[in-house]
């Protein structure tokens, strides 16, 4: 559910080969660059190597690892027999060749203790360190808040609509029009300002995070959303003012990034 608002608020890759495309062009670029089919006969377009997925997890993340086994052929048939079976090298390698935008990962601590985590891959990096921390604050707050809502939020939004929201947000950024819980329709910018940011703030405070930090970092997100000044927007505006000088764009971007100021304050 969070993929749509997160990809929009963190959009930072509007260009490819000098052409203005999606607000987050990284999404379709990667999907097309690794466009390999899966499926029971390994040619099913429903199961792609880079995918948003085909449904909500119902009971356990084991469902996705089972899908890996039954729906995707090995892409890298490497002999890992010299590796310890305790760290499941074949499972980890195979999972690493299926790029879900929200991907389950099995890892191991230095003492061998296993852990399970979710890789939320929809967000761009940057543009600045404060922006990155603010993105993380928004994500963790919303994940905590939505996970505790009753009835479960996945019952209030069809998965196909959830997926459509994601691609609309990747294409149009904060301007995207999406369908939210219980059929609520509206702009993503309005949803963030009126519902999601207050929910994230409440959830982070419930986790006993420092109130000043919560206010500061969610304040950065609020200012970014109100102004519409994402990394993608800043790059587009720079080119409108200065022409298609990508070298100048890169140098200006680096200079502002090194200033440590959040992107909504960039001139």
pLDDT in tens, 230-264: 999 999 999 999 999 999 999 999 999 999 999 99
Per-residue pLDDT tens over the stretch 89-99: 999 999 999 99
What is the predicted pLDDT for the residue at 66? 95
**30 pLDDT more than 70:** yes
Q: What is the mean pLDDT of residues 190-212?
A: 98
pLDDT above 90 (res 123): yes
The pLDDT value recorded for residue 43 is 62
Most confident of 47-51, 75-79, 218-222: 218-222
Does the structure show a pLDDT above 90 at 41?
no
Which backbone phi and psi does 179 adopt, to 5 degrees? -105, 125
* Pairing outcome for strands 50-51 and 99-100: parallel
Q: Is the CB of residue 38 less than 8 Å from the CB of residue 31?
A: no
pLDDT at residue 243, as a whole number? 93
Q: What does the pLDDT read at residue 38?
A: 63
Ordered DSSP codes for 123-165 = SPP-SSHHHHHHHHHHHHHHHHHHHT-SS-GGGSS-HHHHHHH
pLDDT reported for residue 76: 79
**Distance separating alpha carbons of residues 152 and 146, to the nearest angstrom:** 8
Give tens-digit pLDDT for 151-181.
999 999 999 999 999 999 999 999 999 999 9
Q: Using an 8 Å Cβ cutoff, are 19 and 28 in contact?
A: no
Cβ distance 102 to 27 under 8 Å? no
Asked whether the beta carbons of 20 and 236 are under 8 A apart, the reply is yes
Confidence of residue 6 (pLDDT cuts 50, 70, 90): very high
What span, in angstroms and rounded, lies between the C-alpha atoms of 25 and 127? 15
pLDDT digits (tens, 9 = 90+) for 52-93: 999 999 999 999 999 999 999 888 788 888 878 788 999 999
Nearest CA-CA partner of 174 in 189, 193, 190: 189
Task: Examine the pLDDT at 195 and tell me if it is beyond 90.
Answer: yes
pLDDT of residue 136 exceeding 90, the answer is yes
Helix 197-206 to helix 129-147 angle (10° resolution) is: 80
The residue ranges of every structural domain in the chain are 3-21+123-265, 33-120
Q: Per-residue confidence at 182, pLDDT binned at 50, 70, 90?
A: confident
Question: What's the rounded mean pLDDT across residues 219-238?
Answer: 98
């Amino acid at each position: 559910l969070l993929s749509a608002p997160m990809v929009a608020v963190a959009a930072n890759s509007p260009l490819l080969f000098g052409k203005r495309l999606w607000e987050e062009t990284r999404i379709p670029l990667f999907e097309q660059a690794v466009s390999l089919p899966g499926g029971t006969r390994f040619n099913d377009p429903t199961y792609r190597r880079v995918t948003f997925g085909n449904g909500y997890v119902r009971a356990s993340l084991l469902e996705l690892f089972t899908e890996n086994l039954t729906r995707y052929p090995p892409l890298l048939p490497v002999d890992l027999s010299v590796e310890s079976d305790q760290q499941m090298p074949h499972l980890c390698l195979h999972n690493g060749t299926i790029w879900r935008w929200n991907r389950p990962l099995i890892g191991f601590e230095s003492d061998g203790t296993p852990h399970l985590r979710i890789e939320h891959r929809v967000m761009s990096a940057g543009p600045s360190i404060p922006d990155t921390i603010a993105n993380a604050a928004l994500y963790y707050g919303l994940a905590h808040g939505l996970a505790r809502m009753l009835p479960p939020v996945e019952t209030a939004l069809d998965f196909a609509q959830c997926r459509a929201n994601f691609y609309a947000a990747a294409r149009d950024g904060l301007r995207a029009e999406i369908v939210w819980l219980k059929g609520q329709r509206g702009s993503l910018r309005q949803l963030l300002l009126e519902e999601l940011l207050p929910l994230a703030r409440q959830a982070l405070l419930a986790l006993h995070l420092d109130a000043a930090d919560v206010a500061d970092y969610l304040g950065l997100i609020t200012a970014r959303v109100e102004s519409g000044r994402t990394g993608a927007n800043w790059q587009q505006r720079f080119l409108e003012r200065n022409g298609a000088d990508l070298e100048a764009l890169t140098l200006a971007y680096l200079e502002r990034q090194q200033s440590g100021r959040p992107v909504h304050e960039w001139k």
